A and B are shown apart, each in its own frame.
Chain A
Amino acid sequence: MDSGSHLIVNDIEIMFGGQAGDGSLTTGDLIAGVFKRMGLEVYTYKDFPSRIRGGHTNYVIRAGRHPNYGMADFVDGLVAFDLEAVEAHIEEMRPGGFVIFDNTSETVPDHVKRPDVTWYEIPLAKIAKEDLGLELVRNTISLGVLGALIGMDPQIMRTDVTGVYKRKGDKVVDINMRAIQAGEDYVKAHFAEWPSGYALEAARDGERLLMMGNDAIGYASLVAGCRFIAGYPITPATDILEWMAKYGPKYGAVTIQAEDELAAITMTLGASFTGVRAMTATSGPGQALMTEAIGLAGVLEIPVVVVECARTGPSTGMPTKTEQSNLNHLVFSGHGEIPKIVISPGTVEDSFYLTALAFNLAEKYQMPVFVLTEQALCQSKATLPVLDLSRVKIDRGKLQTDPVVFGEYKRFAFTEDGVSPRVIPGVEGGMHLAPGSEHNELGVITENPKNRARMMEKRMGKMVSAKPDLPAPLVHGDKNARIAVIGYGANRGPIVEAQTRLAAAGTATKFLEMRTLWPFPEEEVRAFIEETDHVFVVENNFTGQLERLVRYVVGPLERMHSVLKYNGRPFRPIEVIEPIERFAAVRGLAGV
């Protein structure tokens, strides 16, 4: 066995693999928490099957000294509860990595047993059952084993495990404590001369949080004044509905589980029409059902925030896996034309601030605002600085709650910026009809061609008015680089990491992280790609939806390349590096 010649400190990716429902979620969360409290930066990725029990599942926890918003190239340590987990992931192991394998009832066949990784074969289930009397605690034993092998802080680990099982009583806590000890003892007894090659050096846990993307979205909504959410359960968006159901009532927020997404979106419209900041959260299939009513929001100029947590489509697709294949849908779906905004965060922290902003955008410009995120971000946890709530300002735009003069007041008045003063039920004098049919300034239905043309110009013009308020793209890397990368959402992590490594190898790149996808930030994208030799558009889909949007705006570009991944899993940095290097090699780029 070759455990690698040098020690890797504070840079590790652990994968927990087993069968769904066997507790790897809890254990994975525990590890993430311990890493965080040891002062490390953490990112987690859940790769769960779309079923409750059984089926291979894995949970990736990555920790390092610097923030990483994505997975590494390789898995460093695999904790495999069955052979299936080994077989599924042995190819992803870093040479010099290690496997902790529960050999209670299975053995690893020789052809699977890579010689360049260290094997710790331990009868975890057997120890759990025979020594501790409870098979369930084999996860906790593995925690003790892992902790001893890589140097997780044993005290923090015990405190956190206690925290998790406290609710279940002293007995449960006690057996878990003994399980950790059993794991540690086993390592001492059997592997003292057999180092993993990895070590962690605890730093102080600064003022940081460990939060999942969807939690940040729920939290931001409540902070930003959302007091109504309607939704229909769908992975990976349900967390948001559940978050609001749990924390909202104290603040007077209504959470309603609708009978379907047609109801969820029309309920959202109803609440917003009545003056409550309202949202819904869904994923692709639900988004498809919402399309007609979003058109209604457009023509009625009702503010509405729709969070789309994208997953692998089409149809049921792979419900628990990631994909960026819904951009076209958000931008182009709908009969008729309405103004709308699509924004997308690249980190958990940004998920918070962009969601909070979405409510202002929706109300200021009285139109649907989509917060587009994806499974690899919204169901991932990451460390982030404590959120600064003073950055959240509530701007309700032209909401009009004082009495108006009936007959003079026009709900759909033509104005300079296209936005009309908006009354809500209960306001004296503001009675009007809000019709999905074309209407005049008063809301009276009319098919008059002049009025129609002006109303179209008014509504669509709001997208221009909104531009100054839209989240600007971020440029990462060397602003003068001639190799450009464009991407958004969860790909921020792997792209930024790829940039760092390319830079270390002598290739300068710049990366435009788009946070507003619609209205398309034409000037910014044009300016960004102007002085470049190559433009790589990195996205998780088959057809290159973002790349097509870029082409659509800037015209065909010979030096533009699509970097695509569509197997349901997020990019690893090497998958961004390789195409860039390959291209560079073919074209003989300097510095590669």
Chain B
Amino acid sequence: MSTVMSPKDFATATPSWWCPGCGDFGVLSALKQAMAELGKTPKNVAFISGIGCSGKISGYLHSYAFHGVHGRALPVAQAVKLANRNLTVIAAGGDGDGYAIGAGHFLHAVRRNADITYIVMDNQTYGLTKGQSSPTSMTGYITGTSPQGNPDAPINGLAVALAAGGSFLARGFSAHPKLLVDLIKQAVEHKGFSLVEVMSPCVTYNKINTYAWFKENVAYVTENEHYDPTDKQQAFEALSREDKIPLGIIYREQRPTLETLMHLAEMPTVNAVLDPQAPELVALQEAYR
């Protein structure tokens, strides 16, 4: 790492739109810290976000930031990586963005294993549209669209990802900044698709899953000194716990990345020389003579 970076190097001048106390602040500051500690430079970071309160985060990270349409951060992010594999590519969005409207992309991104990082900011509700139930809301959660209680069972995003072949799965809590910075750093360093789900409370709409509630209900997998994050069986067991929400690096493995399996050249796609008159291109016509 040649230059010493500080989290301030990743700050933008744009004032945040988040409510005071929103969990997303913690995610943003951990991300800036992680980028600085990893010695990243803003010009080489592509940060792609979805739509939601959480999706606003791309406006607050000094980088090449892309704030697209609801649920589609992952396809954009994967393509950015394939277009320029030298970039550090991070996608971020809410639980609705990733596990509802973007659920299809989520599954396929997990199994493709492009070398990108995905941060799901999970507040168990739809913040931006004012507190409806989300795919991670608890059954019975009362909202404007579920006045009699949310009838659906919550999605366990990490367990889904584990089953789909996820190669790096972690969960953090936005009120535990140090540990979150560490998780994000390891995720970014991981070669392949890394998923960091962050419990990020919505102080305005979610009056059930509050900071206090989380503090009661989370447990780091490392509390068990025998926990082995390379053991898939243990990972499934941890994710199946009903009493506690497991935090930490739940699972990791090394498997070939999408870039490797697609036989991408070391040189980024974006640097390909474009010459319409290249002799081999002209010669392609021979097949049609």
Known: A269-B76, A445-B59. Contact between A228 and B83, CB under 8 A? yes
Establish whether residues A270 and B76, one from each chain, have CB atoms under 8 Å apart when the complex forms: yes
> Once the chains bind, are A230 and B79 in contact (CB under 8 Å)?
yes
Contact at A211–B66, with CB atoms within 8 Å?
no
Asked whether A156 is an interface residue with its Cβ less than 8 Å from the other chain, the reply is no
**CB nearest to B276 among chain A residues:** A392
Against A, the Cβ 8 Å flags (1 = close, 0 = not) of B75-115 are 11111101110110000000000000000110110000000
CB distance from B258 to the nearest CB of A (A): 9
Judge whether B276 and A275 touch: CB under 8 Å.
Answer: no
Q: Give the residue of B43, B68, B69, B281 whose beta carbon is less than 8 angstroms from that of A223.
A: B281
The minimal Cβ–Cβ distance linking A440 to chain B, given in whole angstroms, is 11
Q: Do B269 and A425 touch (CB < 8 A)?
A: no
CA separation between A512 and B68, bound complex, in Å? 40
Q: Hey, what's the 0/1 contact readout for A210-246 against B, CB within 8 Å counting as 1?
A: 1100010001001111011010000000000000000
Q: Given A275-B84, A276-B269, A394-B274, does the pair A431, B62 have CB atoms closer than 8 Å?
A: yes
Candidate in A267, A430, A444 with the most chain B CB atoms within 10 angstroms: A267
Contact check, B68 vs A436: say whether CB atoms are below 8 A apart: yes
Q: Is the CB of B64 within 8 A of A431?
A: yes
Q: Is the CB of B83 within 8 A of A274?
A: yes
Q: Which of A224, A228, A263, A435 contacts B269 (CB 8 A)?
A: A228
Question: A437 at the A/B interface (Cβ < 8 Å)?
Answer: yes
Known pairs A263-B75, A274-B79; A436 contacts B67 (CB<8 A): yes
**Segment of B167-175, B190-198, B259-267 engaged in the interface with chain A:** B259-267
Does A73 sit within 8 A of B, measured CB to CB? no
Query: Which listed residue, B63, B83, B289, touches A270 by the CB 8 Å rule?
Result: B83
- How far is the CB of A428 from the nearest CB of chain B, in Å? 5
Q: A267-B78, A426-B87, A437-B67 are in contact. Are A225 and B59 (CB under 8 A)?
A: no
> CB-CB < 8 A to B289: which residues of A?
208-210
Q: State whether B280 touches A228 (Cβ < 8 A).
A: no
Bound-state Cα–Cα, A101 to B267, Å: 58
Q: A431-B42, A444-B14 are in contact. Are A215 and B66 (CB under 8 A)?
A: no
User: Size of chain B's interface in residues, with CB distance under 8 A?
Assistant: 56
Taking a contact as CB atoms under 8 Å apart, the answer to whether B66 and A270 are in contact is: yes
Q: Is A262 an interface residue (CB 8 A)?
A: yes
Contact (Cβ within 8 A) B80 A425 = yes
Residue of A nearest to B60 (CB): A433
- Residues of chain B contacted by A427 (CB below 8 angstroms): 43
Measured between beta carbons, the chain B residues less than 8 angstroms from A225 are: 274, 276
The reply to whether the CB of B282 lies closer than 8 angstroms to some CB of chain A is: yes
User: Which of A8-16, A87-95, A172-180, A248-256 makes up part of the contact surface?
Assistant: A248-256
Known: A227-B272, A252-B265, A435-B67. Is A271-B83 also a contact (CB below 8 A)?
Answer: yes
CB pairs A–B below 8 angstroms (9 shown): A223-B281, A249-B263, A251-B278, A263-B104, A268-B79, A275-B83, A276-B269, A389-B277, A433-B12
Hey, which bits of chain B sit against chain A, CB under 8 A?
A: 12, 14, 42-46, 48, 51, 58-59, 62-69, 71-72, 74-80, 82-84, 86-87, 104-105, 107-108, 262-265, 267, 269-270, 272, 274, 276-278, 280-282, 284-285, 288-289
